[in-house]
Each structure stands twice: as structure tokens, then as C-alpha cells.
Chain A
């Protein structure tokens, strides 16, 4: 097996760190998912490139340079190092791992992109990545030279936007990443570990594919799996039962036990969100039939993502 193949077979998790408690909760969850030897974790802090207008034409980098002259760390570095210390505390990595630092000037910014890469003898890697990009969401989703990440984890605080803002306002970073990223995205809202995954299924080929992928993920953290299917009307209950049966059969084939199978009648979004409160993560499919659908960001998956109080995993 070539080095490139080995790289491609690794399970890569990207955790977005912004210094908030929620982002470190996301990192704890990543540590559970990425505990195997074949998994790497990258923590990223994205600094939007300064447009200058907001700082009155004086580049913010002048202030940052001044901070560094006082031997003060840049904010992102401090947050990332805190993340690294958390992983050491969790026993995910050791202090004596080999350290390699790289720096690349990026987007005309001399402070540019900085990466500290820690690796052990078995080749497991942890990376701290301080990155500059036009926008935070753009930086998170940017393709990485070593191939794409399998899972992006973002921690978010509860969404305070009003209805009007939701229609006209600029969607928060997490929603933008969740709808546009190529990989699976876990939007973490105070992730409580150990309560398992709730997979939403309608029995379609898309949702069966998603179940396969999530089963793989859930097995990484030994998280129990439950299934839910919601029929909009009583007449359609049979379809929902069938969807559950199909999904269960698939998991049986994979030798993965199903903790609970739930069939509900009502508004799918409301029912799933209600049931989701008893689980760690609600799992929905992120596959879309067309680009246009994605552009207008509609659908049940998006409504769940936007309104759920529980963490939501969008599987792609």
C-alpha cells in the first residue's frame, strides 16, 4: 500500500474551534469517534482575512503584530492549544509526540496559515491549524491538500435569530457549512455523550446509504442506534413501518443492534425534534436531488438542523 493510499484510508475529523465551550464539547466527541489508530483529528481556527474597511483602513495585522511584540499569543493559537491540552487530558494524545510546525503565507497575509502537527510512532496525527480565509465558513470547507475530511464537527450556541432574520439574515456559519460542505457535518449543540444516535429514515435508497455510513460512525464511539420514521398521515403509517423494517434489515445484515425503532404520525420535523431530545445526535441525510434545492436550503433535514435542540449529524 502506498503512502497516498494509507492517507486516503484514514478517517479524518475536522473540529472547528472558536474558544467556546460548545466547540470543546465537539472536540470531546471527536476524541471518542477518533479513538482508533486509523483516525486523525485536525482542530481548525479560521481567521477571516481583514478587509481593512472595518478597521478604518489600518490593517488589523498591525495590531496583531504589536500583540506579538508584547509576547502575547494570537487568539486562535491560545484556543487551539487549549484544545490540544484537552486531548492530552482525555488520554487521546501524549505530550511526547513528535511535533512539526509549518507556516505558509496566505492571501497576502504574512501571519498566514500555521499548522502544528503532532504524530506518534503508529502514525496517528493530531493537528492544530490556524488558518486565514475570506470567510470563516469558506475556510472550514476549503479542500485540504491531503484530501477531504470525512467529518466536520462544529459546536454552536443556541440560535437567537428572529423569524425575520432567518428569512433575510445571513445564515450563521454552522448552517452554511452544514448545507454546503462535501463531507458529513455534525452540528453540536451541547453534545451529551452516551445517549446514542437517532437515525431518521424514509426507506429510500438515500436514507439506506446514510444508515450504512452512520452505522460505521456510531460503531467508532460504541454509540447505540435507534431508528425513527414519521408518517405525515395515519394512512401513510404502513409506509413508515416499511421504512423501519427495511432499515432494520440493513443494520441486521451489518450485525449492528437497533436499540429502539420508533414510528410516529404527524409533522416529521416536530416529531423528530421531540424524539431527538432523548438522544445525543439526530442523524439526517444530506443528499440532495439537485443543486437548486441546496441553493434555497429547504427541506425537512434543514428544518431539523435549524430548529433542533439536540446535535444534528448531516451524513453525506
Chain B
């Protein structure tokens, strides 16, 4: 019993905090329903961060809470769970598994090495560039999972003793993780958080940001970050070996054993190219989610992946969780809770002179970076999205700019293992320590924040 209480203490603390908030006198400018939604949001945030119960449980509680505490009809809650952005998250996760299963990783590795040669710095840049470009379209988790064995193989082929290649391991594995993380902002399909923000823009302001428009805003920023990633990594970790010739030769021999591309390889490449084409050209008409779901169906029909693989490789609880978080986000808007938090936050910022322009952008970015380092970045955008969009409204700023700042800053979770999907996957290799993330992460976060603010003040006004 004591052990149960110890393990679940944050669950009970969260519930008590929720009960206290709900029993408070209603603050000025907030309704009873708004207070309930505020309490639910605080409880959900505590549970997201401390994880005392499996996270999909939070999704179930959000659904139940809306019906029981808010009195919303069950059918209405059920409808609010499924949106195009949720379909997109579901479809792109299935596509991610399908792509990883095609085993194109060795060929990609060979392609990188052919271009970069054998110097460590050039290989690191090559890995982050190729990982990044792929990740910007097919999602960072997909590419991190594909490229992880490439990085580890290069490390183990250099030396069997992990201690002798600790810094090299850090440089190569972070090149994958951060290459993918900085790329996640590049296109709407780069990460669930982007789809969630697009959904909020549509829901709150009826602003339609299509695939190409998103890329126009953020793709240049991703590309500019790439050389900085390699520079920061090499400077921080100073790899033990500057030339990886022996490892590269062995890797080439391994890849050569696979033989030339086969029919099914071509089919999978063509199918994926069609999905990308669909996202770019049809997102605004049939929806990104439908393209993703159609792509997943095409992979199944072509027999390139088994349903069992998709079923085991996708965490369906996450789809449920994002669905519930978005549904709660909509309630935050409808009950006025988001507007109230936004106004309170703005009142706090006004004395600091951060209630508009650069000050506000920086505040939103720091808030998002802080939140995203404690929970998954999709969840961070789902929780913060309604608040920052209302903040933009109250401060007279463009919701598009503030929305982009939130979606992009949510990728700055370089400091912790759980921050971004790519970091979590690379950490699963066992070669990195949690302190490595802290050592290099703050430099990355600083670099990305500065670049983003430059983009927000110089580049975005040009294309708005």
C-alpha cells in the first residue's frame, strides 16, 4: 500500500490541486466552466510531467472529465476527438513504421559516405544534413530509428571499447538526433506538433496554412541550423579520431553485400514520393490527414508492410492522447479559459516591457522551450497552443507568427532525453548519458532561439 502511494503520489497530488482550483472563487473574467477547464489543464500538465500513471490514462480522464465535470454531451466530446490533425498523426505514424521496415538505411548510409568522404567532421555534417532533410518530410522519429544503427555501426567499427570512442559516439549520435530535431520544424509532416498547430489555427481563426506556406516560413531556418549543429557538436565533444577510414571501409563492404535496389525498394520509394506530392499539392483540399492515411493504406495494399508490424510499431495510446489534448485545447478556447490565462500572462509581461514585439516573442519562446523540455513536444504544443494564440489576440500580434514561434520553439527540447522523439530514440542506444544532453543542449537551444528571433523579425515580415 505504501509503495503504491509512493509510486502514485503525483496522481493524488494532481487530483488534490485540481479539486482546490475548482473550489476557488471564480476569478474575474473567468466563467465556472472556464475554471473547470483550467483545473483539468493543470491536472493534465502535472500528470504529463510526472507520469505517475500510463499517459493514455490522462487522455481517458480528459474525455470523462469533459462529460462529467463540464456537462458536455458525450457525442459532442466524441466528435471533438477526431480531426484532420489527429488523422494525420495516426497516418504518419503508420507511414513511419512502414518506411523503417523498408530497410533503406544501409543505402542511405552509403550515399552519405560517398559524398562526405572519411573525415569525422564531414561525416557528422553529412549525417545531420541527410537525416535532417529526410526527417523534415517523414518525421524525426522515423529517421532517428533508421539512422541509429548507421551511427552505432560507425562507432563500433572504429573501436570495440566504448570508452575510447565516447566523444566520437556523442558527435555521431547527436548529429542524428539534433539533425532530426532541427528538421522537425521544416514541414507540417515533420512532427505531430506542427499538425496540432495547423489544426488550432484552423479551429480558432479559420487561418489555413498549407504545406508549402509552412515550408516557406520554416524550411530556410532548418537549413541554416545544420552547419551550426556540427560546429557545436565538434566544439563540445572533440572526437578522439578525425578520420574514420577503417570503419567506413567495413561499412561499405557490409552495404555492398546487399546488392542493387530491388523491385520492392523502387515501389516503396515511388509510393513515398506520391505521399509527399500529395501533402504538397492536396493538403488544402483533401487534408494532410487523408493523404497520410491513404499512404499507409497504399503500403499495406502493395504488401510492403504487414498490419502486425504497424500495429506493434505505433503507440496507439499516443494518438488517443493527442486527440484528447486537442479536444481539451478546444474546450480551453470555448470556455474562455485560454483567453483568461493569456490575459493574465500578458499582464505579468507588461511591467517587464515584454507585452509586444520581440519581448513577447522571446517570452513565448522561453515558455515553450521550458514546457517542452519537461514533456513531449506534441503535448507541449497541444497544451500551450490555445493559450499563445489567445495571447497573440490580446496583444494585437499576428497569431501566425506567435503560432510559428510556439511550434518551432517546441523543437528546442535539446536538454533532456524525453524532449524530442529523436533524442529519446538515440538515447535508447545506450551510448549517451543524460548529462551529455545538458552539456550540449543549452548551446543548441541558445543558437536556435537567436536564429528564430532573427527569422521572426527579418524574414517572416517579408513573406507575410
Residues of A that sit less than 8 Å from B by CB: 19, 50-64, 66-67, 69-70, 72, 74-76, 78-79, 110, 134-135, 138, 141, 170, 176, 180, 291-292, 294-295
Contacts and interface: CB of A to CB of B under 8 A. Distances in A.
Interface in B292-341: 312-315, 317-319, 321-322
Contacts of B145: 58, 62-63, 66
Listed from nearest, the 10 A-B pairs whose CB atoms lie closest are A75-B430, A52-B315, A56-B421, A57-B318, A63-B145, A70-B149, A56-B141, A58-B141, A291-B2, A54-B424
A134 B7 CA distance: 11
Nearest to A56: B421
A291 B1 contact: yes
A63 B314 contact: no
Interface of B: 1-3, 5-7, 50-51, 54-55, 89, 93, 96-97, 100, 103, 105, 139-142, 144-146, 148-149, 152-153, 156, 162, 191-192, 312-315, 317-319, 321-322, 376, 378-379, 417-418, 420-421, 424-425, 428-431
Contact of B424 (A60, A74, A176, A294): A60
B141 A66 contact: no
A57 B316 CA distance: 7
Nearest to A171: B6
Contacts of B54: 51, 134
Given A57-B192, A57-B319, A79 B149 contact: no
Given A63-B145, A66-B105, A58 B430 contact: no
Given A53-B376, A56-B140, A56-B378, 6 more contacts: A53-B55, A54-B417, A57-B89, A63-B425, A66-B149, A70-B152
30 contacts: A50-B315, A51-B317, A53-B321, A53-B376, A53-B378, A54-B376, A54-B417, A56-B93, A56-B191, A57-B192, A57-B314, A57-B319, A58-B96, A58-B97, A58-B142, A59-B312, A61-B313, A63-B428, A64-B428, A67-B148, A67-B149, A69-B103, A72-B156, A78-B162, A135-B7, A141-B3, A170-B50, A180-B6, A292-B2, A294-B2
Given A55-B424, A61-B313, A295 B5 contact: yes
Given A59-B314, A291-B1, A75 B149 contact: no
A56 B139 CA distance: 9
B392 to A, nearest CB: 26
Nearest to A179: B6
Given A53-B321, A57-B89, A67 B429 contact: yes
Nearest to A18: B430
B88 to A, nearest CB: 12
> DSSP majority for the B interface?
helix
A195 to B, nearest CB: 27
A63 B426 CA distance: 9
A135 B430 CA distance: 16
Most buried by B among A54, A79, A138: A54
A176 B6 CA distance: 9
A58 B148 contact: no
Contacts of B50: 170
A51 B51 contact: yes
A53 B1 contact: no
A79 B430 contact: yes
A106 B9 CA distance: 25
Contact of A76 (B89, B149, B379, B430): B430
Contacts of A51: 51, 54-55, 315, 317
Nearest to A57: B318
Nearest to B7: A138
Contact of A58 (B7, B314, B322, B420): B314
Contacts of B424: 54-56, 60
Contacts of A72: 149, 152-153, 156
B421 A58 contact: yes
Contacts of B314: 57-59
Candidate in B50, B55, B191, B376 with the most chain A CB atoms within 10 angstroms:
B376
A59 B313 contact: yes
Nearest to B423: A54
A62 B100 CA distance: 8
B195 to A, nearest CB: 12
Contact of B313 (A58, A74, A295): A58
Contacts of A53: 55, 315, 317-318, 321, 376, 378-379
B103 A54 contact: no
A50 B51 CA distance: 12
A54 B149 contact: no
B247 to A, nearest CB: 14
Contacts of A61: 312-313
A41 B50 CA distance: 33
A291 B2 CA distance: 6
B147 to A, nearest CB: 9
Contacts of A74: 430
Contacts of B418: 54
Contact of B6 (A76, A134, A295): A295
Contacts of A138: 7
- In this complex, the member of A51, A61, A69, A294 whose beta carbon has the largest number of chain B beta carbons within 10 angstroms is A51
A61 B311 CA distance: 12
Q: Which of A57, A61, A291, A292 has most B Cβ within 10 Å?
A: A57
A56 B376 contact: yes
Indicate the member of B2, B103, B105, B153 with the most A CB atoms within 10 Å.
Answer: B2
B315 A59 contact: yes
Nearest to A292: B2
A291 B191 CA distance: 45
Contacts of B162: 78
